[in-house]
Amino acid sequence: MTEHHDYQGAKMGMWIFLFTEILLFGGLFVLFAVTFQRYPTEFHEASKLLDVTMGTTNTVVLITSSLCAALSIVALQRGERKRSEMLIGLTILLACCFLVIKYFEWSAKFHHGIYPGSTEIADWAPGKQAYFALYYAMTGLHGIHVIIGMAVLGWVWWLIRREKCTPDHFVALENAGLYWHLVDLIWIYLFPLYYLIT
C-alpha cells in the first residue's frame, strides 16, 4: 500500500497538537495565578514544605533526557541507527528516573499526611490547602504526560528497529521528540513556580 508522506503536514499537525497541550495546562496555570494572587503568604509558607533538592535533581534529569531525545534525532538523520536507538533508550531511562524521584517525593509527603482530602491538612489555612491541591493536580497531570511520552518514545524506538522510521522518513521520531520537549518545557515552568518562588 502506497502511503503519501507529507513531512510539513505531519509537523504542522504535531505543532497544533502541542498547542492544545499547552492550553490544557494553561487552565491550571490560570488557576494557580488566581489562587496565588489571593493567598500570597499561604503559598509562601506551603512552598517551603517542598524538597528543592529533589525538584532540582528532577529538573536536571528531565533536561538531560530532552537533550538525549534531540541527539537521537540528529543521529538518525545522519544514518546512525544504533546510536539513535541507544539515545532513545537513554531518554526513556531518564524519564523513569524522574518518575522514581517523584515517587519518593510524593510518598514522603503522603507519609506526613500532606495530600488533598487528608485529615492532617483539614485544619490548615485554605490557601495552603489550595497550594497542595494545585501542586498535586499539576505535577500529577505532568507525571501522566511523562508516562505517555515514554510510551510514545518506546513506540518510535520500535519503529526504528523495524526500519519503519528511517533516515529518510524520520518525522515520527521528530514529532515524538517535540512531544518530549513539551513535557520538559512544562516542567521547566512548574519547577520554579512551586519550588523556587517563595
Half-sphere exposure of 60 (CA within 13 A, CB side): 6
How far is it, in rounded angstroms, from Cα 13 to Cα 175? 9
How far is it, in rounded angstroms, from Cα 146 to Cα 69? 13
Min. distance of Cβ 63 from another protein in angstroms? 25
Question: Considering the rule CB under 8 A, would residue 126 count as an interface residue with another protein?
Answer: yes
Name which of residues 15 to 34 contact another protein (CB under 8 A): 16-17, 19-21, 23-28, 30-31, 34
Residues 6+ apart with CB under 8 A from 71: 87
- Indicate which single residue of 62, 92, 95, 134 sits in contact with another protein (rule: CB under 8 A): 134
Q: Is 52 helix (H, G, I), strand (E, B) or coil?
A: helix
Min. distance of Cβ 17 from another protein in angstroms? 6
Question: Considering the rule CB under 8 A, would residue 174 count as an interface residue with another protein?
Answer: no
Question: Considering the rule CB under 8 A, would residue 40 count as an interface residue with another protein?
Answer: no
Place of cell 495546562: 25
Asked if 69 and 153 count as a contact pair (C-beta separation under 8 A), the reply is yes
Min. distance of Cβ 50 from another protein in angstroms? 17
Residues that bind another protein (CB under 8 A): 6, 8-9, 12-13, 16-17, 19-21, 23-28, 30-31, 34-35, 38-39, 42, 116-117, 125-131, 133-134, 136-137, 141
